[in-house]
Copies of this chain bind each other. A is one copy, B any other.
Amino acid sequence: MASSSSLTLSQAILARSIPRHALSSSSSQDRVSLPSFSGLKSTSSSSSRSTTHRRRVAATTGLAVRASAAVETLEKTTDVALVEKSINTIRFLAIDAVEKANSGHPGLPMGCAPMGHILYDEVMKYNPKNPYWFNRDRFVLSAGHGCMLQYALLHLAGYDSVLEEDLKSFRQWGSRTPGHPENFETPGVEVTTGPLGQGIANGVGLALAEKHLAARFNKPDCEIVDHYTYVILGDGCQMEGISNEVCSLAGHWGLGKLIAFYDDNHISIDGDTAIAFTESVDTRFEGLGWHVIWVKNGNTGYDEIRAAIEEAKAVKDKPTLIKVTTTIGYGSPNKANSYSVHGSALGGKEVDATRKNLGWPYEPFHVPEDVKKHWSHLIPDGAALEAEWNAKFAEYEKKYKEEAAELKLIISGEFPAGWEKALPTYTPESPADATRNLSQQCLNALAKVLPGLLGGSADLASSNMTLLKMFGDFQKDTPEERNVRFGVREHGMGAICNGIGLHSPGLIPYCATFFVFTDYMRAAIRISALCEAGVIYVMTHDSIGLGEDGPTHQPIEHLASFRAMPNILMLRPADGNETAGAYKVAVLNRKRPSILALSRQKLPQLPGTSIDGVEKGGYIISDNSSGNKPDVILIGTGSELEIAAKAGDELRKEGKAVRVVSFVSWELFDDQSDDYKESVLPAAVTARVSIEAGSTFGWAKIVGTKGKAIGIDRFGASAPAGKIYKEFGITAEAVIAAAKQVC
């Protein structure tokens, strides 16, 4: 049983461990990491191991041990000099890489090297040879510009993704060490950070996922889900509104296993933080319901840092903020504690001075032998941790077959067979309904078959229609439930969902608000697309069709703005079948997020729509032409497909050969073969009219120079929806008139 579960999990590992560059790099296949179980007893006792390598392993053996570990004093197995040498190694790897690239941010790694060392060497549970081991502790560098800190740590810990050659090609074309941490480039990096505040939000999502899965799958005799989430964030992250949003939620949810280090160095790009940031962060976080600890000497107070982590772990019902006061660029005699060390290379002269100041006689990129030797324990330790967990999982599987099967789906990202059959289908006789309501039918159908589906709305659940009726609310004391209440925090919601999605391949987060408020969360949505988190964005009230709330609430340019964004699917279904199709696409695209634009208003079930059609992005819903030569092609999306269909009917009565095309997703249509595209939009037919209650920007590509795009190129208005449609000319009459013009 153990081997079979390992196999399943390894498949998940394989699926996720090929970074993007590996696909275009000849030498990278051999870097794909598989767990090395051989030579290690999977049942080795934790007590014997802990004498050599401390409580890292002890912490994995169950609740009883963890509870006592939380209050014990940390054993120091290495002497201070070696710790300091290791910390300086981290500093100089960062200095040297930035210097070689002549680009990057040395200041943070130099200041945060002590907490980095303690986390990766002493505290965190992970397996460097399998960065995707399910039960690993997660680490997020929210202050992503300091990525050389993380690359140096991954390198010392023995990750295959960051070899010496990778450090030397920092920030170069095709390297695994890009300018900010990117999970899709560098195994060992959990999420994509750099845009400030995103990382701490991802961290909240990772910690939420852990709390949820632990509550669902842990048993009194077997704690199969059990890890911490560590985050380092800086002053910049703290200033961003998104971090306040998510930290308010983390406090509300009582995410006790989220431990965030606030690198309190008083410097941001414009200089001393005193010029723009004089609030009391401690007081604010106390208000947010966090446990707050202040490490006054983050530069050399190693025991202070260790004690703070212990204290943080002992507080189980609140997340902890460890404010660590550090010196940015610590060790640089002339640039430390100034903005000049934040974002540029120190320069040869200052590098020399820093080497002298910190007593560092080594060549660039050199890792001293004793430091190397010291870090070498992490590979066998990591393998042992994973083997132990695999053995534990085998036991779990024996006792809790059903739960184990479900958890494996979440870990592997595999879909249960036939899941898509759960999606509802409709006929033209089915009652008219708003696509937001049809969306709720899909979500509730999918929740029954997809164990990883969870999500919610930014305080609009009853408008977005996103409640899963078979589940309760994910809350502090009911974390096993799947309806997440994000409050009015769109940006945080999106970034939390990115964290959930990147926690485990089988978690499928969805989140919802009014379509216009994607503006609040656009930065998080873009990172979904970039970091390949398959979040499903359920965006209702998708046009002037929402009516009276007026122009602040009516999206106009939003469809176009997402069609222009790489690696995202913008879907605008027209009725029940298309909504089901949109969900099928969204669920299957685990590395390409989907946005579903859904109507507030009722829409009829149209003849000719289908799930299959949606999968092609654009398809014919009705046609009375022959020989692929219609007189005119009418193209609609979402709520305007009905109008196109009506206009088509009218024109046919007048004897025209009319094709009506649903253009539900431009990106999916782009992915089709040229032959298919020609079969829908034949090049020879230039008489084309599109209708969409949104900006016409971009439609010229579809309707061509001789066609006509009907849309809205102004802001909306406050009035009943039907009135606005009429006043704005989004009508069948307008389509008919345009068709006659272009024919």
- Within 8 Å of chain B (Cβ to Cβ): is A287? yes
Which one of B244, B275, B561 lies within 8 Å of A557 (CB-CB)? B561
A171 CB to nearest chain B CB (Å): 4
Q: How far is the CB of A378 from chain B (nearest CB, A)?
A: 27
Q: Which residues of B contact A489 (CB under 8 A)?
A: 239-241
Chain B nearest CB: distance from A566 CB in Å? 5
Chain B min CB distance to A707 (Å): 10
- Does the CB pair B548–A101 fall under 8 Å? yes
- The residues of B that contact A713 with a CB separation of less than 8 Å are 566
A407 within 8 A of partner (CB): no
A637 within 8 A of B: no
Residue A527 lies at the interface, judged by CB distance under 8 Å to chain B = yes
- For residue A485, CB closer than 8 A to chain B, the reply is yes
Pick from A70-78, A107-115, A209-217, A276-284 the stretch touching chain B: A276-284
When distances are taken between beta carbons in the complex, the residues of chain B under 8 Å from A173 are 717, 719-720, 723-724, 727
Cβ of A735 within 8 Å of any chain B Cβ, yes or no, is: no
**A222-249: which residues lie under 8 A (CB-CB) from chain B?**
235-237, 239-245, 248-249
Q: Select the stretch in A365-373, A517-525, A587-595, A638-646 that faces chain B.
A: A517-525
Q: Flag if B519 contacts A459 (CB, 8 Å).
A: no
**B residues in contact with A178, CB < 8 Å:** 550-551, 717-718
Does B457 lie within 8 Å of A270, measured CB to CB? yes
Q: B287 to A282, Cβ gap below 8 A?
A: yes
* Most chain B beta-carbon neighbours within 10 Å: one of A182, A280, A549, A723: A549
Question: Are A550 and B492 in contact, CB atoms less than 8 angstroms apart?
Answer: no
Alpha-carbon distance between A701 and B704 when the two chains are bound, in angstroms = 8
Chain B residues positioned under 8 Å from A196 (CB to CB):
488
Which residues does chain B contribute within 8 Å of A285, judged by CB atoms?
287
Residues of chain B with a CB closer than 8 A to A63's CB? none
| CB-contact partner of A551 in B182, B463, B473, B490, under 8 A | B182
> What chain B residues lie within 8 Å of A473 (beta carbons)?
275
Shortest beta-carbon distance from A708 to chain B in Å: 12
Q: How far, in whole Å, are A628 and B410 apart by their CA atoms in the complex?
A: 64
Q: How far is the CB of A186 from chain B (nearest CB, A)?
A: 11
Q: Which residues of B contact A15 (CB under 8 A)?
A: none
* Residues from 699 to 716 in A contacting B, C-beta threshold 8 Å: 700-701, 704-705, 713-715
A192 at the interface (CB under 8 A from B): yes
How far apart sit A553 and B563, CA to CA, in the bound complex (Å)?
A: 19
A339 neighbours in B (Cβ, 8 Å): 462
**Known contacts A196-B488, A724-B173: does B240 contact A553 (CB below 8 Å)?**
no
* A729 interfacial by beta-carbon distance below 8 Å: no
Would you call B718 and A175 a contact (CB within 8 A)? yes
Q: Are A241 and B241 in contact (CB under 8 A)?
A: yes
Distance between A726 CB and nearest chain B CB, rounded to angstroms:
9
A239 CB, min distance to chain B CBs, angstroms: 4
Residue of B whose beta carbon sits closest to that of A240: B488
Residues of B within 8 A of A103 (CB): 547-548, 720
Contact with B along A145-183 (1 / 0, CB 8 A): 000000000000000000000000001111100111010
CA distance A727 to B516 in the complex (A): 36
Q: Is the pair B715, A487 in contact by a Cβ cutoff of 8 Å?
A: no
A93 within 8 A of B: no
Question: Is A453 located at the chain interface by the 8 A CB criterion?
Answer: no
In contact, B565 and A557 (Cβ under 8 angstroms): yes
Question: Could you say which of B175, B194, B270, B566 contacts A549, with CB atoms under 8 Å apart?
Answer: B194
Contact B550 A194 (CB under 8 A): yes
Q: How far is the CA of A469 from the CA of B56 in the complex (A)?
A: 55
For A723, what are the chain B residues with a Cβ–Cβ distance below 8 Å?
172-173
Query: With A517-B195, A517-B523 in contact, is A144–B552 under 8 Å at CB?
Result: yes
CB distance from A601 to the nearest CB of B (A): 13
Whether A131 is near chain B, meaning CB under 8 Å from some CB there, is: no
User: Does A698 reach chain B (CB closer than 8 Å)?
Assistant: yes
Known: A195-B517, A492-B241, A700-B701. A278 touches B289 (CB 8 A): yes
Give A527 to B268 CA distance when docked, in angstroms. 29
Residue with the greatest number of chain B CB neighbours at <10 A, chosen from A101, A180, A516: A180
CA distance A233 to B35 in the complex (A): 54
A277: nearest chain-B partner, CB-CB: B487
A 492-538 contacts with B by CB, 8 A: 492, 516-517, 519-520, 522-523, 526-527, 529-530
Please tell me if A362 contacts chain B, counting CB pairs below 8 Å.
no
Q: Is A491 part of the binding interface, using a Cβ–Cβ cutoff of 8 Å?
A: yes
Measured in the bound complex, the distance between the Cα atoms of B488 and A25 in whole Å is 37
Q: How far is the CB of A225 from chain B (nearest CB, A)?
A: 24
Q: A564-B695, A698-B564, A718-B179 are in contact. Are A460 and B270 (CB under 8 A)?
A: yes
Residues of B within 8 A of A236 (CB): 459, 488
Q: How far is the CB of A21 from chain B (nearest CB, A)?
A: 10
Closest to A560 in B: B564
* B530 and A519 contact, CB distance less than 8 A: no
| A550 CA to B560 CA, complexed, in Å | 24
What are the 5 A-B residue pairs with the smallest beta carbon separation, nearest first? A241-B241, A283-B287, A276-B487, A178-B718, A700-B701
Interface contacts beyond A286-B287, A520-B522: sample of 6 additional A-B pairs, CB < 8 Å, sorted by A: A194-B553, A241-B492, A251-B279, A268-B488, A275-B473, A275-B485
- Interface residues, chain A, with chain B CB atoms under 8 Å away: 101, 103-104, 144, 171-175, 178-180, 182, 192-196, 235-237, 239-245, 248-249, 251-252, 268-270, 273, 275-289, 339, 457, 459-463, 473, 475, 485-492, 516-517, 519-520, 522-523, 526-527, 529-530, 547-553, 556-557, 560-561, 563-567, 695, 697-698, 700-701, 704-705, 713-715, 717-720, 723-724, 727
